[in-house]
Amino acid sequence: MEYRTLGNSDLKLSAITFGAWAAGGWMWGGTEQNDAVKAMQSAFDYAVTSIDTAPIYGMGHSEKIVGEAIKDLPRDQVQIVTKYGLRWDATDGEFYVNSQDNDGKDIAIYKNSSKASIIKECEDSLKRLGTDYIDLYQIHWPDKTTKIQETMEAVAQLIKDGKVRYAGVSNYNVDQLKEAKQYVDIVSNQVPYSMVNRGIESELIPYVLKNNTSILAYSPLQRGLLTGKMKAGHTFSEGDHRKGLAFFKDENIKQTAHFLDTLRPLAEDKNISLSQLVLRWTIEQPGITIALAGARNAEQSISNAKAIDVKLSAEELQFINKNLNELKLDL
């Protein structure tokens, strides 16, 4: 495994980090807890030491699963990455979305990054995770109802209190990142990035490269689209959020599958899966420090971990990019 340092901190995460959104079940059509725990533990056996989660993933369920998975592991060898700022149990702040919890109960989710909310969320997360500190604490989404100064000063206090090691953000643009850095050292920004979703390359990547800030890329496999296993006409299970996303329109699935077919001979020559090829490509891109890869079972998590062993030459990266630049999706 490769371990990469976030910003100017001494916090190192595994370049392939376990993404635990699907483990929480919410918006993924449910989850099987034993499989999720085994997936995380198997990842650790293959040197994936970092796990990214959030309270909203299953309304605390994902964090509890992470806590169960790591309870017998050496705490100083595991890096816990979680978030704050999305509340399903209170209506203060900025309305975000109506949804359903894992039991099918209607819930309303609000963005709330006020000081009082952050302090409460941190305590709740620590209990669910079964730990007394969080390695990287990130705002989940910008919150228009709370000043960035109040939010970041609250996290700075948590760092001072020893409950958080480092501050990160998620889904922040350059201006928001600049402002946040005035109040606390922001070591990373977690944002969506994949072969078919490269919008951050125009402004955010140049900024982070210049200012020594790390990028944690989420959805590098575009929520399964880039695995090479999805075909037009795919049927999603009840509660699976992907059903309504533009990436998963039949024509886009078809075009993506055609692109992946051009990479298949390269993957076969290296005796690797397309998913492993895509993950390795992702962490080879300028400014991308970490790729978050989710898994529902041990087999998937081990496969993701082994992506780190893939070697891509400059010529092979050029070949991939040439074919990628010819892919045009209707988004």
Taking only the tens of pLDDT, the chain with its 331 residues reads 999 999 999 999 999 999 998 886 555 454 567 888 999 999 999 999 999 999 999 899 999 999 999 999 999 999 999 999 999 999 999 999 999 888 889 999 999 999 999 999 999 999 999 999 999 999 999 999 999 999 999 999 999 999 999 999 999 999 999 999 999 999 999 999 999 999 999 999 999 999 999 999 999 999 889 998 888 777 777 667 677 788 988 899 999 999 999 999 999 999 999 999 999 999 999 999 999 998 889 999 999 999 999 999 999 999 999 999 999 998 8
Name 188's bridge partners. 168, 214
In tens, the pLDDT along 136-167 reads 999 999 999 999 999 999 999 999 999 999 99
* CA–CA separation, 266 and 251 (whole Å): 24
Pair 184, 213: CB distance under 8 Å: no
In this structure, are strands 16-19 and 288-294 parallel, antiparallel, or unpaired?
A: parallel
Q: Which among 3, 46, 57, 207 is annotated as catalytic?
A: 57
Pair 183, 147: CB distance under 8 Å: no
Predicted structure pTM score: 0.93
* CA–CA separation, 257 and 262 (whole Å): 9
In this structure, are strands 94-100 and 106-111 parallel, antiparallel, or unpaired?
A: antiparallel
Handedness of CA 188, 68, 21, 272 (dihedral sign): positive
pLDDT recorded at residue 79: 98
Q: Return the structure tokens found at 319.
A: 């070949």
Q: List C-alpha distances in Å: 47 to 77, 89, 134, 194, 306.
A: 10, 36, 19, 23, 10
Handedness of CA 158, 214, 150, 137 (dihedral sign): negative
Q: Does residue 193 carry a catalytic annotation?
A: no
Q: Does the structural domain 3-225+273-310 have CATH classification 3.20.20.100?
A: yes
pLDDT recorded at residue 290: 98
In this structure, are strands 16-19 and 86-87 parallel, antiparallel, or unpaired?
A: unpaired
pLDDT recorded at residue 28: 47
User: Count of alpha carbons within 13 Å of 311, Cβ hemisphere only?
Assistant: 1
Query: Which residue type is seen at 57?
Result: Y
Q: Which has the closest alpha carbon to 287: 215, 227, 187?
A: 215
Pair 58, 31: CB distance under 8 Å: yes
Range list of H helices, 161-249: 174-180, 204-210
Q: How long is the chain?
A: 331
* CA–CA separation, 38 and 10 (whole Å): 29
Name 168's bridge partners. 138, 188
Q: What is the DSSP letter of 284?
A: H
In tens, the pLDDT along 281-330 reads 999 999 999 999 988 899 999 999 999 999 999 999 999 999 999 999 98
Maximum separation of any 2 CA atoms in the chain, in Å:
55
Q: Return the structure tokens found at 109.
A: 């989710």
Task: Enumerate residues 6+ apart whose C-beta is below 8 A from 123.
Answer: none
Residue found under tokens 């970490």: 290
pLDDT recorded at residue 242: 78
pLDDT recorded at residue 23: 80
